[in-house]
Amino acid sequence: MKILVCISHVPDTTSKINFTNGDTEFDTNGVQFVINPNDEFGLTRAIWFKEQQGATVTVVNVGGTDAEATLRKALAIGADEAIRINANPTDGMFVAKQLAEVVKQGNYDLVIGGIESIDYNGGMVPGMMSAMLGYNFINSCIGLEVTGNDVKATREIDGGKETVSTTLPLIIGGKKGLVEEKDLRIPNMRGIMMARSKALAVNEPTGDAPATKAVKFEKPAPKSACKLVSPDNLDELVSLLHNEAKVI
């Protein structure tokens, strides 16, 4: 089984976010980048298939040279090879087209992507890829078993979970549940050394230019100061809720 894992190169959630050039560009100075968490769950599941069923695992990213450190980490975790599409991933449709082309060229059986990335939270790329390629698609996937060409998966739905069956080739939008957090892999020294010699191909983008672009970014409004009211002064509390918060 050939597995392709789509990796997004995203800012760590603890990073302080700022913008430059009149709030039109993300300021990367001092920001630590990591593997998108939803993608990391998928990567760990792919490594399990490699270890248990002899699958081959390729990771792919649409991004600049700065993303290669993230791809090398994925290789250190256990992926066999990596591909970087040399383009700025600002448009979901553009990213899906680039990834779909990689799938076509590599003839992959299973494509694992995160349900969404934590930077743009678009949640669109895996579904777009399935439409472009005609692959089966399961979103919000939290459990995945593959036996031969048959697939049994669990996905989250409103109010519960649903178990479905399908066949390869398949694309999933995965999330926490594919593996548990305790099962995530930390690269060891041997993995880091081996990652240096693994193939990392750089492909130029194909097809049309991105259809959209970010015009301006804006931070959420800062939180207002918290007012403390004595539990013995209910009249003041009611007055504040009515006149300032305007919730009653």
Report the CATH number at residue 150.
3.40.50.620
**Residue 212: band (very low, low, confident or very high) from pLDDT cuts 50, 70, 90:** confident
Residue 213 has pLDDT above 90, yes or no: no
Q: 126-140 burial, b if ≥16 CB within 10 A, otherwise e?
A: bbbbbebbebbbbbb
8 Å CB contact between 47 and 77: yes
**Residue 211: band (very low, low, confident or very high) from pLDDT cuts 50, 70, 90:** confident
Identify the three-state secondary structure at position 63. Answer: strand
- Whether 245 is in a domain gets the answer no
How many H-runs (helices) and E-runs (strands) does the chain carry? 6, 13
Instruction: Supply the mean pLDDT for the chain.
Output: 94
Tokens linked to 164: 């479905």
- Whether 191 is in a domain gets the answer yes
Q: How many domains does the chain have?
A: 1
- Whether 235 is in a domain gets the answer no
8 Å CB contact between 3 and 49: yes
pLDDT computed for residue 63 by the predictor: 97
What distances in angstroms separate CA 13 from CA 16, 68, 96, 162, 179, one per listed residue? 8, 20, 24, 30, 20
- Whether 203 is in a domain gets the answer yes
Percent of the chain scoring above 90 in pLDDT: 80
- Whether 227 is in a domain gets the answer no
Alpha-carbon span 39 to 9, nearest angstrom: 10
The model's pTM: 0.88
8 Å CB contact between 77 and 185: yes
Within 10 A of 154 (CB to CB), how many other CB atoms are there? 18
Mean pLDDT confidence for 126-142:
97
- Whether 200 is in a domain gets the answer yes
Instruction: Kindly give the pairing relationship between strand 33-35 and strand 136-147.
Output: unpaired
DSSP state of 226: P
Q: Which residues pair with 82 in a beta bridge?
A: 59, 200
8 Å CB contact between 187 and 153: no
- The 10s digit of each residue's pLDDT in 79-116 is 999 999 999 998 999 999 999 999 999 999 999 999 99
Alpha-carbon span 192 to 170, nearest angstrom: 30
Mean pLDDT confidence for 134-148:
97
- Domain containing residue 198: 2-220
- Whether 234 is in a domain gets the answer no
- Whether 151 is in a domain gets the answer yes
